[in-house]
């Protein structure tokens, strides 16, 4: 990153922190803090961590004086958060965190990725409340400022959970380790839960097989490990009866039938099968390592994301549906700034579509910050305010 670009970003972030309303998580004095700064070799990641603050005033003074590119705090509570090693900090518990990152879900235009990951966040909130019993009132939603959302649960009851307990929760929402035998041996008329998701996914896939060309269906099944052409052909003869049973009494699907059991087990284990893809669509695709890590650092709500210039935005579950990060997380304005694009790009910002070519362009300040933070542009000669 060129010096002019680095200074431009640091000045914009300074302006933000000088005037912004800042908030802090509970128990500031028990959190470890970490920061990445606008140093000469930025954006190379060099975090300064093992930092502690005795009060919110001390934290806010630090943010305004140091102007970090990224600000993080520990999901864990410690007796001595400033201790130089994790073993010396004295772990007291940790908030329960779920992280949804569009990069782990799909690839595509930025606005499309943001829309998809918001859908996943809403799906996850429903699962946490309707199926796992967490209260929306104890839940904080945070747009990460980049490509995803963090869901914070600070109920006292979960603070002492270790990694194994947290892994059970993340496995549930992601649908990891589902046993076909269990799913097809229980009866439930509930429209929620993995039994319902499994049955509806399997039924949808079998209906697709039934309607497909026989040769294509057999070909799809026979390439799976342990199936083969003969077993696939035998299975296709059973598909109409399986569809009928799944629609009327799914608890009576007989997996002890050699052919049925072999094919359905293979479908569940084959990551590229049409069935597993349908089942994945019904999961909440949260990031497992974040939830199971009881000493994780997470972005500070209200801070700026140094990779986008967007505000790390706290939300309530009720606010999530109407939230548009390309409007609501943008904190900079529309004055003209000259940037030099490395390559062409198309980008939506503050409700306007921008189609940019390689070379020098004049763009709104908010877009200039985003492009420079992402490494897509540098500040051009003349800097901000030039036309």
How many C-beta atoms lie closer than 10 Å to residue 275's C-beta? Answer: 21
Minimal CA–CA distance to 357: which of 381, 385, 372, 377?
377
E-only strand ranges, the chain: 33-37, 48-51, 68-74, 76-78, 91-94, 96-101, 139-143, 148-153, 297-299, 313-315, 336-341, 345-349, 352-356, 359-364, 377-384
Is 287 known to be catalytic? Answer: yes
Among this protein's residues, is 336 annotated catalytic? no
Catalytic residue among 80, 99, 119, 293: 99
How far is the C-alpha of 231 from the C-alpha of 237, rounded, in Å?
A: 10
Phi, psi angle pair for 155, to nearest 5° = -60, 135
Task: Tell whether the torsion through CA atoms of 240, 244, 245 and 250 is positive or negative.
Answer: positive
Q: Examine the residue annotation and report whether 179 is marked as an active-site residue of this protein.
A: no
Q: Token pair of 185, please?
A: 């041996």
Helix (H) or strand (E) holding 267: helix 258-269
Q: Are 129 and 109 in contact (CB under 8 A)?
A: no
Per-residue CA distances from 181 to 130, 251, 255 (Å): 24, 10, 7
DSSP state of 153: E
Distance CA(123)–CA(141), nearest Å, equals: 13
- Please give the Cα distance from 204 to 201 (Å, whole number): 5
CA dihedral 171, 173, 177, 181 (to 10 degrees): 140
Of 103, 111, 179, 287, the catalytic one is 287
Annotated catalytic residue: which of 19, 95, 101, 111?
A: 101
Question: What are the distances in angstroms from CA 251 to CA 184, 196, 240, 245, 276?
Answer: 5, 11, 16, 8, 20
The helix/strand/coil state of 71 is: strand
SS3 percent helix, strand, coil of the chain, rounded to 5, is 45, 20, 35
Catalytic residues: 99, 101, 287
């Amino acid at each position: 990153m060129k010096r002019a670009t680095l200074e431009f970003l640091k000045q914009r972030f300074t302006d933000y922190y000088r005037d912004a309303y800042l908030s802090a998580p509970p128990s500031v004095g028990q959190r470890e803090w970490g920061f990445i700064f606008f140093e000469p070799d930025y954006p190379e990641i060099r975090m300064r961590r093992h930092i502690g603050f005795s009060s919110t005033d001390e934290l806010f003074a630090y943010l305004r004086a140091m102007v970090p590119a990224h600000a993080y705090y520990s999901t864990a509570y410690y007796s001595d958060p400033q201790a130089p090693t994790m073993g010396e900090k004295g772990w007291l518990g940790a908030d329960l965190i779920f992280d949804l990152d569009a990069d782990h879900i799909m690839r595509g235009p930025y606005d499309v990725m943001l829309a998809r990951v918001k859908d996943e966040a809403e799906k996850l909130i429903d699962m946490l409340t309707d199926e796992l019993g967490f209260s929306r009132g104890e839940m904080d939603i945070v747009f990460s400022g980049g490509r995803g959302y963090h869901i914070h649960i600070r109920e006292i009851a979960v603070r002492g959970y270790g990694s194994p307990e947290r892994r059970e929760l993340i496995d549930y929402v992601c649908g990891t380790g589902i046993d076909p035998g269990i799913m097809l041996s229980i009866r439930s008329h509930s429209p929620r839960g993995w039994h319902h998701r499994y049955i509806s996914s399997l039924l949808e896939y079998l209906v697709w097989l039934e309607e497909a060309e026989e040769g294509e269906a057999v070909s799809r099944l026979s390439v799976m490990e342990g199936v083969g052409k003969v077993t696939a052909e035998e299975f296709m003869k059973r598909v109409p009866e399986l569809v009928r049973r799944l629609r009327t009494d799914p608890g009576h699907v007989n997996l002890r039938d050699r052919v049925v059991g072999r094919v359905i087990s293979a479908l569940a284990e084959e990551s590229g099968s049409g069935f597993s893809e349908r089942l994945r669509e019904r999961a909440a695709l949260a990031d497992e390592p974040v939830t199971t890590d009881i000493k994780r650092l997470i972005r500070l709500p209200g801070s700026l994301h140094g990779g986008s210039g967007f505000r790390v935005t706290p939300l309530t579950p009720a606010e999530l549906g109407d939230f548009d990060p390309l409007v609501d997380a943008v904190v900079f304005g529309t004055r003209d700034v000259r940037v030099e694009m490395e390559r062409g790009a198309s980008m939506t910002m503050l409700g306007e579509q921008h189609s940019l070519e390689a070379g020098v362009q004049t763009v709104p300040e908010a877009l200039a910050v985003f492009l420079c933070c992402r490494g897509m542009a540098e500040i051009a000669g003349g800097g901000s305010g030039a036309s």
